[in-house]
A and B are shown apart, each in its own frame.
Chain A
Amino acid sequence: MKDIPLNWFLYFAAASFSIGLIGVLVRRNAIAVLMAIEIMLNAANINLVAFWRYGTPPQAEGPVTGVMVAIFVITIAAAEVAVGIGLILLCYRRWNAADVDRYDSLSG
């Protein structure tokens, strides 16, 4: 396990974070946008767990460690998806489309 250097995890996390961010910006399907947001959250999780595994904890580390943060983030992500799917469903019922470009009643 220790054979894989920390840097590799960080490169991987940064890459998947960028993929998620690009996904949010270019995908037009609302569900795909939601998936891209999930990728971004999970990229941060990889960072947190990798730092927790490899970092040397300082004297005053505090009550919350990296893995604990990651576990909480997973629950947050679940709550966000539940709300997101609900909102997308509501939009789909109003416009009969899951395409974010179609939702254009507000502008200016």
Chain B
Amino acid sequence: MTSSALPAVRVRGASLPSSRWLCSPLSVILLALLVWPGMRLIAESMASDDGGWTLAHYQDLWRLSRLRFALIASILLSIAVAILSTGLCLAPAWLLVRRSFRGKRVLRAIYTLPLSFAGVIVGFLVALMLGRVGFVPILSERLTGIPWLSGAAYGFAGVLIGYLYFEIPRATLTLEAALERVDFRLADVARSLGASRLQAFFWVVLPSLAPALLSTAAVTFSVSLGSFGVVLILDARSFSVLPLEIFMAYLAFPSDRPAAAAMSVTLLAIALLINYGCRLAFEGGGNRGAAVMARA
């Protein structure tokens, strides 16, 4: 729609009761639910038994091998999921953006399904498929006599697949939004200048996609970092992630709230670092809107 040359409606002063007050319910909620709890969290993470301040809980995070392992596992797992999901989901995102065909909406709906699945559900699904008596081993046993992948659910691979499962919708939709903004006519131009399909893809399309890929990876990273439902269900003895430790710490008896707080702050710091780090690295990529999956 061609916009009139009229500038945006912006009348200051007496002609309109200042409508900024319309923002106040939202602001109040954010202050009450985000800012204040954040402050309280940091305060609690440094609470010592005698009422003073201490960094012991943060130090525990590194000293205790259980927690250290969980932290590292969380980070590595999230990185792996981020890279895998971003890479893999480029394909369906591409399909949805570049081709129209019947049943496209159905396909899109399928990808969107796991969007709301809590981690616990995904854990269950993974166990269903790859557990000791899961679908895949039983099927393969019927067909080939060998139960393939029996019990795979309970190892690193199973957990990884679980995380991948619920990152698929997020990655696909975010990439879809980003792909919609790519000007593919530039690739047409490259092809007319003699580039092959592969060259056009790597030299023209991919660079313009790079910020979106990065921000998709960042978002999937943060979400994976915070999810523990999968591991909760799969109950992998050898495998723990930090959110799970937080969960356990809080539910322990007596509740180790400072420890939980310290671990929470650590997680939050990592998530914020990755997200804003990526944004700063690609300033002006304009993909924040794409990074939020507001258009499920």
Is A bound to B? no
Interface set of B (CB-CB < 8 Å, partner A): none
Interface set of A (CB-CB < 8 Å, partner B): none
